[in-house]
């Protein structure tokens, strides 16, 4: 059974905002990387930048909530020694090669993903800024191998983020559907006929 305290409203709201931001950023990023004739590129780029700022602001707010908010949850996201021991058993479980190990609110692979997402997002914003202002970022552009390399890196990070999100969605629907219902509707299946 889902414990409502596991996902307070502020965390659920942040999750919703992230979903919208990632969808818009991936879609507009795709059109920026592979432009099509007739697509209003000025609008696409502006939307991309606006939602990048929304994503970063939401990340900062979520970071604050995690460490200083009323419902801080940093201790359930950071890896501990038991998590390190459970990385391989959890991997084997997901590969249908072992039984499910005892874990806390999040298993070690979830924690690794939840730690990696903000780091990748910040690096994605960094490479995005370089692409947006290549003349002002010439030194950083040179360190990273030039404009084509940074563009490729930005695209690669998007692919990694999409892979993490796709795995997350798959696992939610196959192993934690009640969590999905609660995360998006604030109710469990047995409440109000959901």
Predicted confidence (pLDDT) per residue in 148-192, tens digit: 999 999 999 999 999 998 998 888 888 877 777 777 776 665 544
71 within domain boundaries: yes
Could you list the residue range(s) of the whole structural domain that residue 105 is in?
4-185
Residue listed under structure tokens 């563009």? 151
Q: What is the CATH number of the domain that holds 107?
A: 1.20.950.20
62 closest CA partner among 108, 18, 26: 18
> How far, in Å, CA of 45 to CA of 26, rounded?
12
Is the pTM here over 0.95, yes or no? Answer: no
Across the chain, mean pLDDT equals 87
Looking at the structure of the chain, the number of domains it has is 1
Name the DSSP letter for residue 133. Answer: S
> How far, in Å, CA of 114 to CA of 165, rounded?
10
190 within domain boundaries: no
193 within domain boundaries: no
192 within domain boundaries: no
95 closest CA partner among 109, 81, 83: 109
Predicted confidence (pLDDT) per residue in 124-156, tens digit: 999 999 999 888 888 988 899 999 999 999 999
């Amino acid at each position: 059974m889902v414990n409502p305290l596991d996902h307070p409203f502020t965390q659920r709201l942040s999750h919703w905002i992230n979903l919208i931001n990632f969808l818009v950023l991936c879609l507009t990023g795709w059109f920026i990387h592979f432009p099509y004739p007739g697509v209003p590129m000025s609008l696409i780029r502006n939307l991309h930048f606006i939602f990048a700022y929304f994503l970063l602001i939401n990340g900062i707010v979520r970071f604050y909530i995690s460490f200083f908010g009323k419902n801080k949850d940093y201790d359930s996201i950071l890896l501990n020694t038991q998590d390190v021991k459970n990385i391989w058993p959890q991997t084997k479980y997901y590969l249908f090669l072992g039984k499910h190990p005892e874990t806390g609110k999040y298993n070690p692979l979830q924690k690794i993903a939840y730690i990696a997402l903000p780091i990748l997002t910040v690096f994605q914003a960094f490479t995005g800024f370089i692409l947006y202002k290549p003349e002002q970022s010439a030194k950083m552009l040179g360190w990273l191998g030039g404009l084509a390399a940074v563009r490729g890196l930005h695209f690669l990070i998007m692919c990694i983020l999409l892979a993490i999100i796709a795995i997350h969605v798959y696992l939610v629907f196959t192993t934690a559907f009640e969590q999905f219902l609660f995360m998006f509707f604030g109710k469990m299946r047995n409440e109000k006929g959901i």
